[in-house]
Structure 1
Amino acid sequence: MDFQLIYESFPKLLAAVPATVALASVSLFVGFLLAVPVALARLSHSRLLASLGYGYVYVVRSTPLLVQMFLIYYGSGQFRIVLEHLGLWALFRDAWFCAILALSLNTAAYTSEIIRGGVQSVPWGQIEAARSIGMSSVLLFRRIVFPIAMRQALPAYGSELMIMIKSTSLASTITIVEVTGVAKQIISESYRPLEVFLIAGCIYLSMNFLISRVIFMIERRISPKRRDRGTFGSSAAAAMH
């Protein structure tokens, strides 16, 4: 074990954390904005909308994120003339845009299913009570359904946040220098992958630990029944894609 390399590499890897956080934050934000209409389409009584939503979720969840990222970053070059005509080539030739697009589309599919499950878990009695006092569908969704659904979906969404932090490591395959990208650069110079990836793994672990604690505190605040439970909430363990 080369402790000198660990000592020298840690600051370099730590300096790349903001890039990882920015990549994950923007992707989660855009992905959430996309996930809501997809979830509503999946819940729609319209066969067309439901089918389109199901098709999108099925395709994204059934293919690896790395393949999706490669298709967007490398595959977009096949349509350069069309993209230039539309004025979009400047975006698609940028690695950051392609990474955020791939991560956003991926997390949107998973988040839409989390939201859909949360909406379906809303007690029917509360919906009927709101309708009985003349509440409109839009107001019902905004004041009753959506808040309850998000509270129910919070543990699963917390896992999605942690998965997204780990998924950003794939962005290093398309030249983005985040934590894993810096780790690869150091390894190419030192030929010592064990020490470098050990530090990188600890950094990802630390970030996800902080997320798990924040989600747990939010769960306790919005759900009094969970305040007397153990130290770690149900969002502490992230599922694997």
Structure 2
Amino acid sequence: MSFDTVLQYGHLLLEGSWLTIKLSGLALLIGAFCAMPMSVARSSDRRWLSLPVRVYISFFRGTPMLAQLFLIYYGAGQYRHELQVLNLWWLFRDPFYCALITFALNTTAYQAELLRGGIQGVPRGEIEAAKAYGMSTWLRYRLIVLPHAYRIAFPALGNEVILLLKGSAIASVVTLFDLMGQTRTIFAKTFDFSIYLWAALLYLVITMLIVRVWRRLEDRLNPHLRRRAVQRSSTPAVAVAPTE
């Protein structure tokens, strides 16, 4: 491990780390905003409402994110004239926005599917009780279904946060200087292979921080689960004598 290289170019790694966090964070926020209505539509019994969402989710979960990034970044150039007419070319010619759109579309599909599982995990008795109380569909979802669904899906959503953060490394292939992009640039200048190890350590540190923060949030959302785990760990095991 070369400390001279990381001392000389460490500021570039930190700049790339900040861009990685910003890109992933914005994509996750956009995905969380879009996933909520899509998960409700996906859970609907109306086929005309759930089928388009199912196709969308299947496409973005079933294809590599690198291919999706290429479709948006390079494919947008095929429609440059149309995008200029719509005054959208400034958006699709920028690699940052292309990566942001790709990651947001991808994580929306995953978050919508995870949240759909949470909606299906809500006890039917709570929904029936809300109906009996006279709540409208919108009120049921706002006060009962969605809060409960988010509590159920919250651990899985944490995994999606980590997967998107690590998957964002592909943004470097479209000349975006995130953490991996800066690492490749430094390696091209120094040919010091240990810089990739330092980049991996930075990814590890960021991931560990996210895990710790997410666990704290999970404990606040589901305090009863933490109390139950503490009780189980503090309860001594009772040996049972074998019966003849």
TM-score normalised by the chain length of structure 2:
0.90
Give secondary structure in 1 for the equivalent of 2:63. coil
Q: Which residue of 2 aligns with 1:208?
A: 207
1:8, CA displacement in angstroms? 2.7
Give the gaps of 5 or more residues in structure 1.
231-241
CA deviations 1:130-164 (Å, max 9, x no partner) are 11111111111001000000000000000011111
Q: Which residue of 1 aligns with 2:181?
A: 181
Q: Which residue of 2 aligns with 1:198?
A: 197
- The more displaced of 33-42 and 133-142 is 33-42
Letter in 2 for 1:36: M
**Mapped partners of 2:41, 2:190: distance in 1:** 51
1:122, CA displacement in angstroms? 0.4
Contact 1:9 1:196 in 2 (8 A): no
Q: Which residue of 2 aligns with 1:129?
A: 129
Is 1:114 the equivalent of 2:111?
no
- The more displaced of 90-99 and 6-15 is 6-15
Letter in 2 for 1:99: A
CA RMSD of aligned residues (A): 1.3
1:96, CA displacement in angstroms? 1.0
Q: Which residue of 1 aligns with 2:242?
A: none
1:1-241 alignment runs, 5 A limit: 1-193=1-193, 195-228=194-227, 229=229
1:11, CA displacement in angstroms? 3.2
Contact 1:114 1:153 in 2 (8 A): yes
**Mapped partners of 1:49, 1:141: distance in 2:** 17
- The more displaced of 138-147 and 78-87 is 78-87
**Mapped partners of 1:212, 1:55: distance in 2:** 31
Q: Percent identity among equivalent residues?
A: 39
Contact 1:20 1:178 in 2 (8 A): yes
**Mapped partners of 2:195, 2:225: distance in 1:** 39
Letter in 2 for 1:58: S
Letter in 1 for 2:93: R
**Mapped partners of 2:206, 2:34: distance in 1:** 25
Runs in 1 of length 4+ with deviation above 6 angstroms?
Answer: none
1:224, CA displacement in angstroms? 2.3
CA deviations 1:32-53 (Å, max 9, x no partner) are 1221222122111221221101
CA deviations 1:147-191 (Å, max 9, x no partner) are 000000000000011111112211111111111111010000111
Letter in 2 for 1:50: S
Letter in 2 for 1:157: L
Larger radius of gyration: 2
1:220, CA displacement in angstroms? 1.3
Letter in 1 for 2:52: L
**Mapped partners of 2:20, 2:86: distance in 1:** 30
